[in-house]
Structure 1
């Protein structure tokens, strides 16, 4: 039976990313032997949305997964909800479920007069190991998307929308989210799936996703309103990015990849499930990466490599972030290998 929340693609069918459309992006070596290879595709665009570099089939369609959250948060803000500080960040976060994260989610729920039971995301354990050890069980607020869902409930309260079915594709909130995604990606949104948290996830191309993050991040560095290009200096986008840059702990968690990249480089960074990652600079340079195998462990180094190649971030500072967040390859508790960028990506072929 077809899920009623699904949007079927148009006759101009979207194509998924395939092995043939992918390039080798990263390699894991253990004890002198290459053990695993990560394929995928990535693109960098400028503030005008023009492609600066592409690797692989960046016209392929993907589910952005949680990389869609900035656009969902903007939809909430555009609906009339005032969000600032950590509350704005939690609306766009894939948080680690620490006590500090849950306090902000509680504050968002309190604003709408909602309780944890009103969240439509599933119960989960905190992603933060220490918090998970202290938890008495899985709960909805600990689910990494609970901030987004609490913001959805706040939008429903603000606009008099039904809060019991806000994840339905035809709900006014999700119709508005679809329009926001189309606006920022510059694409027709003709397909939607159901994300892990239960909300609709709209399919975009990899390039469209990069355009969206470039526009959102670039709003923080734009000098003022530009006639004819409202999203380039969207005040809500500016406020959202400034909040993330000020409280990066809230979007991910201390020591975690997105938080480290934001704090150390001043970029807007957002991960998504199944190997998707976006980064954008306040100068309006954006990148989107999709790892074909769905594994995120090399995504940060790939995205930063693409940005460094365009002079968008400092090479030494980016390398420090890579080293701080690189997954270790261990044997008996000792380093016995390393994850590295592929020769194909860095240009050392033959």
Structure 2
């Protein structure tokens, strides 16, 4: 495998404040309290940029927005994943008992045990589920489904299961190739994600093109539809609870709109339609609360999501601005998207 830089990213440039626009503003009691800067882009089925704000040629870590491409690599390795197991392979799950049951079933397929997962132990993201555990578990970590799928890929290909997160492991070489294929970019920089697996840097635009092809593979518009990607997206649309959790942003977006949605740490969000339109958003300060609002706005602008439907999602998922337990403000779009200051 070609050496990848794990320090300075060569000629790549990171997203900066100068390369960002105001995406969202939090208002409390009539005063603008916080601003979220960043960049976002929408691409069409042919990969052409339909709308961009900020420096969308800047390089970012997709974080968990890379999971669809990691899951696709697992499917291409010959692993058959159906229903919720397919969804857990691309999930950042809430750690409910239903999620843990799926992860445990995936482990059992290869006669693996929880300690074979190379992700760290963690508490479930779902507070109610966290109260049911006496200590953190690897299976409760939000990436455990991806790691269970990684183990199955190693089984299918005869690869070492004890080192599957190493950058020079054959599985990660295959993931890199998938990322390069779907982003149409040279992948020359890798970091370590929170779960311990490599995370490959892409541009904001490259990430949008990747999710557009993945999601579009479940439709009939794109000529480059990938059957495994189509299967993955159809599985997510059928069992959206598994990719996130009941009442959580991605699950609500998918169930309400039929749009593939995936959140990543440090303020990354991707959405894609089965018609082949993809959007990627990076919030510079790393806060995740603006991602759904901004990504849906960009899709509404292109006419692929109705405003009323987007409003239903944001009403159900946006972080509440409370004072004494009652609403005293809101999170709204910034002037970098609207062109006007409220």
Q: Distance in 2 between matches of 1:7 and 1:239?
A: 33
SS in structure 2 at match of 1:107: helix
CA displacement, residues 270-326 of structure 1 (integer Å, 9 cap, x when unaligned) = 000000000000000000000000001111000000000001111110111011101
1:308 and 2:266 are equivalent in the alignment:
no
Residue 229 of structure 1: aligned partner: none
Residue 349 (structure 1) shift: 5.0
Residue 176 of structure 2: aligned partner: 178
Residue in structure 1 matching 2:134, options 115, 131, 136? 136
SS in structure 2 at match of 1:339: strand
Residue 158 of structure 2: aligned partner: 160
Residue 52 of structure 2: aligned partner: 54
Residue in structure 1 matching 2:310, options 304, 307, 318? 318
Q: Distance in 1 between matches of 2:4 and 2:185?
A: 20
1:79 and 2:77 are equivalent in the alignment:
yes
Residue in structure 2 matching 1:243, options 221, 235, 249? 235
Residue in structure 2 matching 1:345, options 320, 330, 337? 337
Residue 40 of structure 1: aligned partner: 38
The two structures have a TM-score, normalised by structure 1, of: 0.95
1:267 and 2:262 are equivalent in the alignment:
no
Residue 39 (structure 1) shift: 0.3
Q: Is the 8 A contact 2:5 2:188 kept in 1?
A: no
Q: Is the 8 A contact 1:5 1:168 kept in 2?
A: no
Residue 22 (structure 1) shift: 0.2
CA displacement, residues 74-108 of structure 1 (integer Å, 9 cap, x when unaligned) = 00000010111000000000000000000000011
Within-5 A mapping of 1:60-99? 60-99=58-97
CA displacement, residues 160-182 of structure 1 (integer Å, 9 cap, x when unaligned) = 10000000011000000000000
Residue 211 of structure 1: aligned partner: 209
Q: Distance in 2 between matches of 1:185 and 1:9?
A: 21
Q: Which runs of 5+ in 2 are unaligned?
A: none
CA displacement, residues 102-145 of structure 1 (integer Å, 9 cap, x when unaligned) = 00000110111110000000000000010011111101000000
Residue 126 of structure 1: aligned partner: 124
The two structures have a TM-score, normalised by structure 2, of: 0.97
Q: Is the 8 A contact 2:45 2:221 kept in 1?
A: no
Q: Distance in 1 between matches of 2:141 and 2:162?
A: 18
Displaced runs of 4 or more, over 6 A: none
Q: Is the 8 A contact 2:93 2:242 kept in 1?
A: yes
User: Aligned residue pairs: how many?
Assistant: 340
Residue 21 (structure 1) shift: 0.2
Q: Is the 8 A contact 1:5 1:193 kept in 2?
A: no
Residue 222 (structure 1) shift: 2.0
Q: Distance in 2 between matches of 1:66 and 1:149?
A: 12
Q: Distance in 2 between matches of 1:178 and 1:349?
A: 41
Q: Distance in 1 between matches of 2:277 and 2:16?
A: 26
Q: Distance in 2 between matches of 1:349 and 1:266?
A: 32
Q: Which runs of 5+ in 1 are unaligned?
A: 227-231
Q: Distance in 2 between matches of 1:170 and 1:288?
A: 28
Q: Distance in 2 between matches of 1:74 and 1:188?
A: 19
Q: Distance in 1 between matches of 2:14 and 2:149?
A: 31
Q: Distance in 2 between matches of 1:264 and 1:270?
A: 14
